[in-house]
Amino acid sequence: MKQTNRTVEYLLEASEFNWEVKPGKTISAWGFNQQVPGPVLKAKQGDTLVVKLVNNLPEATMIHWHGIRLQATMDGTGEVQKPIEPGETFEYRFELPDAGTFWYHSHQNETVQMERGMYGGIVVEAENDPVLDNDRILLIDDMKLDENNDFKTDKALGRWMERHDGRQGSTCLINGKEAQTLHMHAGQMERWRIVNAASARYFKLSLDGKPFKVIATDGGLLEAPRTETELLITPGERYDIVVGPFKEWEVFHFETLAYNRMTFGKSKRQNYATVHVIESIPSIASLPERLTEIPDLAPRNAAVNRKVKMSVNPSLKHGLDFKVNGEMHCNDEPVFVGDLQVWEISNTSMMDHPFHLHGFFFQILEENGEAPQYKAWKDTYNLKPKSNIKIAWMPDNRPGRWMYHCHILEHHAAGMMANFEVIDRNAPVLPRQNHFHCHA
Ligand code: C2O
Ligand code: CU
Strand ranges inside 358-416, DSSP E: 363-367, 380-383, 387-393, 400-406
CA distance linking residue 86 with residue 381, whole number of Å: 34
Q: How far is the CA of 133 from the centre of ligand 2 (A)?
A: 37
Query: Residue 105: exposed, middle, or buried by beta-carbon count in 10 A (0-12, 13-18, 19+)?
Result: buried
Ligand nearest to the CA of 352: 2
CA 272 – ligand 2 centroid, Å? 24
Give the ligand at the shortest distance from the Cα of 349: 2
> Which residue lies with its CA nearest to atom 1 of ligand 1?
66
Q: Does the beta carbon of 236 lie inside 6 Å of ligand 1?
A: yes
User: From the CB of 64, is ligand 1 less than 6 Å away?
Assistant: yes
Q: For every one of its 440 residues, what pLDDT tens digit does the chain have, with 9 covering 90 and above?
A: 445 579 999 999 999 999 999 999 999 999 999 999 999 999 999 999 999 999 999 999 999 999 999 999 999 999 999 999 999 999 999 999 999 999 999 999 999 999 999 999 999 999 989 999 999 999 999 999 999 999 999 888 888 899 999 999 999 999 999 999 999 999 999 999 999 999 999 999 999 999 999 999 999 999 999 999 999 999 999 999 999 999 999 999 999 999 999 999 999 999 999 999 999 999 999 999 999 999 999 999 999 999 999 999 988 887 889 999 999 999 999 999 999 999 999 999 999 999 999 999 999 999 999 999 999 999 999 999 999 999 999 999 999 999 999 999 999 999 999 999 999 999 876 555 555 555 54
142 vs 105: CA distance, rounded Å: 15
Q: Is the dihedral of CA 294, 296, 297, 303 positive or negative?
A: positive
CA 288–ligand 1 middle distance (angstroms): 32
Index of the ligand 1 atom closest to the CA of residue 103: 1
Q: From the CA of 104, which ligand is nearest?
A: 1
- For residues 98 and 129, is the Cβ–Cβ distance under 8 A? no
Bridge partners (DSSP) of residue 221 are: 216
Q: Which atom of ligand 1 lies closest to the CA of 236?
A: 1
412 CA: nearest ligand 1 atom: 2
Indicate if ligand 1 lies below 6 Å from the C-beta of 405: yes
Ligand with minimal distance to 409 CA: 2
**Ligand 2 centroid distance, CA of 23 (Å):** 34
